[in-house]
Amino acid sequence: MTSLASAIMRQVDELAAISEEPGLLTRTFLTAQHKRAGEAVIGWMRDAGMAAAFDAIGNVVGRYEGRSPGLPALWLGSHLDTVRDAGRYDGMLGVLSAIACVGALKHEGVRLPFAIEVFGFADEEGARFQSALSGSRAIAGTFDPASLEKRDGDGVSMGDALRRFGGDPAAIATVGRRAEQALAYVELHIEQGPVLEAKGMPLGVVTAIAGASRYAIEIAGKAGHAGTVLLVEKRCAEAPGLVGTVGRLSAMPGAVNVIPGLVRFSLDIRAAEDGVRRAAVDDILRGLEAICRRRGVQLDVGPIHEHGSTACAPWITAQIERAIAAQGVTPLALPSGAGHDAMALAGLVDVGMLFVRCKGGISHNPAEAISMEDAEIGAAALLRFIRDFAPKSARA
Ligand SMILES: [Zn+2]
């Protein structure tokens, strides 16, 4: 049975063809390609029985009314923007699976005791303006208008790009929702990690989205960096769910027979528990200082970014688990290392996520892949979840 997945996978491929760069998938915030992809999604939403349109910041929003118009809504969705040279499932799978589920309800003539809204968020990745989560923050009412001054690589400001797109910077505040309009936000997403594949499981339920601490580090003077990288590896192996990455490393002068005199690198520490992350950051920075003191080299640590972890609401994850179990799959609980729109919305509404296994754990890469069977079982679990959804206030 691939009744939901065949449409989802066809639409995934259609969106993957809408790219700023020929031969690879790049579709960033407020480009002509963003517009075209959004228009295609709006068309599919309308086919599924939803009222759909772009909002003032470029999110695609579709609404399927419940038994009477204007009811609070179960929110579903993910993002439609990509990184450069992206995979085709990251973000899009969540939006298209949600539309397929609504289409199935419409096909059966089913109206639920709540509305459903599906979001195709405009700017989760932040690849064009280094912004990230702009669309979901606008919905949550936490979009920072100063972001409109951010410029892309060609010097175009976000505000100008938004006007050119047909959006309205002055109306972004009106995009923000009130808490009582939403019952929950549930995002289906590919795992972007290898856990489900390693366990032989197609679906997982997310317990929390990891918090992250990111630093730019510079060591001036001979050597010292190798010890640092080993320190990060050793410290992060001490706690389960703690991930440390030195993703960028440059050494100057960069000659094979010269010990580098200046080394710059990035440090990214993530954990589902904020206390675990902070303790690791403290230990690593202290260890770094000790190494640099011992070696007589100069250390400069610049914090870049820090955000706390986002817990998924237990009352929602319990319902996601039941929906997964109903597919004959044992639900595997796991944290999300990567960030998602759910983080931005969690300040407004309780959130939950379900993960679909991806091949080799690869994401942000053209090799990103999922199977038709997993797409089907993911969408079927989401549909089961929607049909059985019990809002928090309605529970005993
Ligand atoms: Zn994503």
Ligand 1 centroid to Cα of residue 227, in Å, is 33
Over the chain (396 residues), the average pLDDT of each successive run of 10 is 87 98 96 98 98 98 98 98 96 98 97 98 94 94 95 96 97 96 98 95 96 91 72 89 87 80 90 93 94 90 90 97 97 93 96 97 93 97 98 68
d(C-alpha 154, C-alpha 248), whole Å: 24
Ligand 1 centroid to Cα of residue 92, in Å, is 8
Ligand 1 centroid to Cα of residue 274, in Å, is 22
Yes or no: say if 92 and 134 are a contact pair by the CB < 8 Å rule.
no
Ligand 1 centroid to Cα of residue 339, in Å, is 7
Residue 396: per-residue pLDDT = 42
Yes or no: say if 62 and 347 are a contact pair by the CB < 8 Å rule.
no
**Prediction pTM value:** 0.90
Ligand 1 centroid to Cα of residue 103, in Å, is 23
Ligand 1 centroid to Cα of residue 357, in Å, is 14
Ligand 1 centroid to Cα of residue 78, in Å, is 7
Ligand 1 centroid to Cα of residue 262, in Å, is 35
Ligand 1 centroid to Cα of residue 163, in Å, is 25
Yes or no: say if 8 and 66 are a contact pair by the CB < 8 Å rule.
no
Ligand 1 centroid to Cα of residue 172, in Å, is 22
Residue 229: per-residue pLDDT = 78
Ligand 1 centroid to Cα of residue 370, in Å, is 14
**What's the one-letter identity of residue 61?**
V
Ligand 1 centroid to Cα of residue 261, in Å, is 38
Distances (CA, A) of 186 to 47, 76, 121, 373: 22, 5, 13, 21
Q: Which residues surround ligand 1, an ion (CB under 5 A)?
A: 90-91
Residue 92: per-residue pLDDT = 98
Residue 253: per-residue pLDDT = 82
d(C-alpha 350, C-alpha 304), whole Å: 28
